[in-house]
Amino acid sequence: MDLKNKLPNIALYAFGGYCTLQSVVIFVFIESIVPQVFNTTPEGLEIAILMHYGMAPAFLIMGLTALFATTFELESKRKIILAFLIGYVPLFGVFYYFLGHEAMNAGIETFIPDIICFILGLVAYFSKK
């Protein structure tokens, strides 16, 4: 099996591993991470923590879907990858907004894992069989 046939699985493992890891990190460490990332009042920090707890199951669902999709047929794998790519487009818009907002302490380095996953997904999606 050559690299082009492995690319969809590599991308799905990257998406799945990253999203699943994010959900675990949120559940375990978010109360210590939020004050470092957000520049706001105690009430604002509490809202950020609660919103992240609400997002953690979504990350877990996305991660497990990507990991389970590694056993799918190639066309189904490509559709899952496309779904992630489409979802990243508005996410990058949000990231751009975050970079300029005074309530955020996040820099571009915060989003590097997402950028890597997106590029890997693009390569996997557009590689020919």
pLDDT in tens, 35-52: 998 998 999 999 999 999
pLDDT at 99: 86
Q: Residue 100's pLDDT band (boundaries 50, 70, 90)? A: confident
Q: Which residue has the tokens 């990332």?
A: 37
- Torsion region of 100: left, alpha or beta (phi above 0 gives left; psi -120 to 50 gives alpha): alpha
Q: pTM value?
A: 0.88
Residue 127 neighbours by CB under 8 Å, 6+ apart: 4, 7
Cα-based angle 118, 66, 86 (whole degrees, multiple of 5): 40
Query: Would the pLDDT of 27 be above 90?
Result: yes
pLDDT at 1: 55
pLDDT in tens, 52-97: 999 999 999 999 999 999 999 999 999 999 999 999 999 999 989 9
What mean pLDDT is predicted for residues 116-128? 94
Between 17 and 4, name the one with better pLDDT.
17
Q: What are phi and psi of 38, to 5 degrees?
A: -105, 140
